[in-house]
Amino acid sequence: MQIPKQALLLRIFIGEDDQFEGAPLHEAIVLKARELQIAGATVLRGPVGFGASSRLHTMKILRLSEDLPLVIEIVDSEEKINGFLPVLDAMMSSGLITLEKVQVLHYGSKRQ
């Protein structure tokens, strides 16, 4: 699989407790991206954050989590990312989605 040197970074901001059809939303998004042969996806967990509600979500010493913020990053061609956006729209009831143009310097392993 190849990613063009000029690609798009799709960044999805959601909460750890967000669900889609009874499963964690972040897992559903990653599995759907894989099913659609998107180049790759990474889920990042933040220790603290807030969104549209201004409610602070934070990790406390005595608690494992309080709906911690998650960021899913996906990089692929503009065509593939734009094709994935309607899928996300159907899966998400809240959250934030951003797009950035990026330059891909390396993808995959170097063969010798």
pLDDT in tens, 87-96: 999 999 999 9
- The band of 98, judged by pLDDT with boundaries at 50, 70 and 90, is very high
Residues 22-36 pLDDT 10s: 999 999 999 999 999
User: Is a pLDDT exceeding 90 seen at residue 78?
Assistant: yes
Phi and psi torsions of 15, nearest 5°: -105, 155
The span from the CA of 24 to the CA of 83, in Å, is 22
pLDDT at 4: 79
Measured CA to CA, the distance from residue 16 to residue 9 in angstroms comes to 21
For residues 40 and 80, what is the distance between their CA atoms, to the nearest angstrom?
11
Per 3-state DSSP, the chain is made up of helix, strand and coil in percentages (nearest 5) of: 20, 35, 45
Query: In this prediction, what percent of the chain has a pLDDT beyond 90?
Result: 68
Q: What domains can you pick out in the chain, each with its CATH number?
A: 6-103 (3.30.70.120)
